[in-house]
Chain A
Amino acid sequence: MRLNEGRIGYAEGIAAAAAAVSVCAIFSVDPASAYTNGNSTYISIPLAALISLVPVLAVSRALERSGKGGLAEHLECAYGTAGAALFALPLTVSLLFCAARPMTCFLDVLQSLIYDGVSYASLAAFVFPVMALIAWKGFESIGRLALIVSGLLVFSLVFAVASAAPSFETYRLYPLMGVGAARFTQFTASELMFTLTPMSALLVCGKGLNGIAPMRKTAAAASIVSAAVCFSAQFAISLVYSYKGLTGLLMPLYRINFLSLAQSYALRLDKLFVMVWLSGAIVSSAYCVYAAARLHAGVFRERDITPAAASFSLVVCAAVLAAARMDYTAVKTANGIMLRFGAALPTVTLTAALAKGRKEKKC
């Protein structure tokens, strides 16, 4: 069997999941929907991260009752191969979207702000082979890499926020929660796409986390950590830019210290920080691709994860390159639908898992 699950501990699991949730949530924000008519992202996104824990814990109970170590095996046992494939498909699509979306954002930034006159494909050629290799190497490598990268992620985030601190102004937060209740709820629900999906990946990789009980603890800790990270990042952004300024910004975290006037070298490290965040995004994307491949392999009882991992990496690469051509209406439409309603996809899969798990049935 070459499922490359390995065994990882709490620290690695939390790092992998929290990094994936944080990166997906922070760097996948659609400015048009997030910042029109106010800014509540510093509440919505962390709230979405915390809310996503609830269905994960519920499904983990279902897995315990069915006696299966992972979501794929649980679905396959409950619905058969065809049924499991049907119910696993939405989660697979959302995992691949979560892998692609942050990469799109980063490649946009690299292409427009950092590398002059370089094509998307050239930049993608540096990024996607690495992502594919990490996904291929498996859960152990992903966990350990995430542990290494998460330290750098947190440090760079803290440094960026601290260097921008002299520019913080509370008036930029106002009107406080100015979007209104309806839009707040809508935006939080849409953000669940980027928080629930990476958390659901923990259910898929339950065996690699040494069982359901450790997986539950990992999910809880990852949810809290990612909520804290998302809050810090978004709150800092909200103190530096008002909602109108954010509407047109590609990656506000990158420009967070542009308001500072000092000539210090520390304030010119924004490109370096973007690269640190990019490495977090690559590891997160690999995590999502691996989870999708593992889900696929579990549902179809495959012994080797290589075909699925390779194929899904190519799909993600193609999706990102297609997203670069946003002038294609179809691409734009698909992207818009996923951003607004994508949270329904993992919900379908988790509901299906929960529905069968309500009875005590050992497969």
Chain B
Amino acid sequence: MLRLICLLCALAAPASAEEIVLGLSHDEVAITANFDGSDILIFGAVKRDAPAPTGEDLGVIITVAGPDIPVTVRRKERRLGIWVNTDSVDVAVAPSFYAVATNMPLSDILSTKNDNGARISINTAIRTFGQPDGYETDFEDALIRIRQGQRLYQTLSDAVLVEDETLFRTNISMPANLTEGDYTAEIYLTRGGEIVDVYVTTIPVKKVGLERWLYNLAHENAMIYGLMSLAIAIAAGWGASAIFTMFRR
């Protein structure tokens, strides 16, 4: 958040010529009992006071990031003939979901310096605090690889559609195994590798209804939740026995 505020202040100074106007297909993602992933349409327009500058292409980068949750990445090694978890690295900052959508390959529209500064690509969004001796990179790569496999990390080149250098839209599809929290959607406009405008908005992702109630109960009133689970189990066991004895008669 802080880095964005700094960035916005920096950008505010030279009164940006191009500004973002944004819309979302829905303001929040509700995890219901039959939740099976969600598609969010992010669309908007570039507002200008003057005609669009010529020469350098307009870059549009849209990122959606889930809450940062520290994780431990473990590596298996063969010990006594079986595969056992041995080394591990704690990754202090790792978004639980991260999608980067661009209208052109990211490296064409954003300089490496700006990428590192604003932490836009997946590799820069993850952070381990340790000795920078390259030991952690294997673990970070593994984290990205596994989460890409689960569609939790997505790099979507050419996924943002830009019309007349003014209108843009993209579709971010979120898988079913989402973590709750406030997701941050960030939209960057770039010209020649430099960021010219940023727009930030949050999309809350939360369990609702029965899911919310059960989750809260399990964590806040664990004793009652446990007793309720047992009561249901005993009632079901008794019910099944009673119903089938009735059938046998």
Answer yes or no: do A and B interact.
no
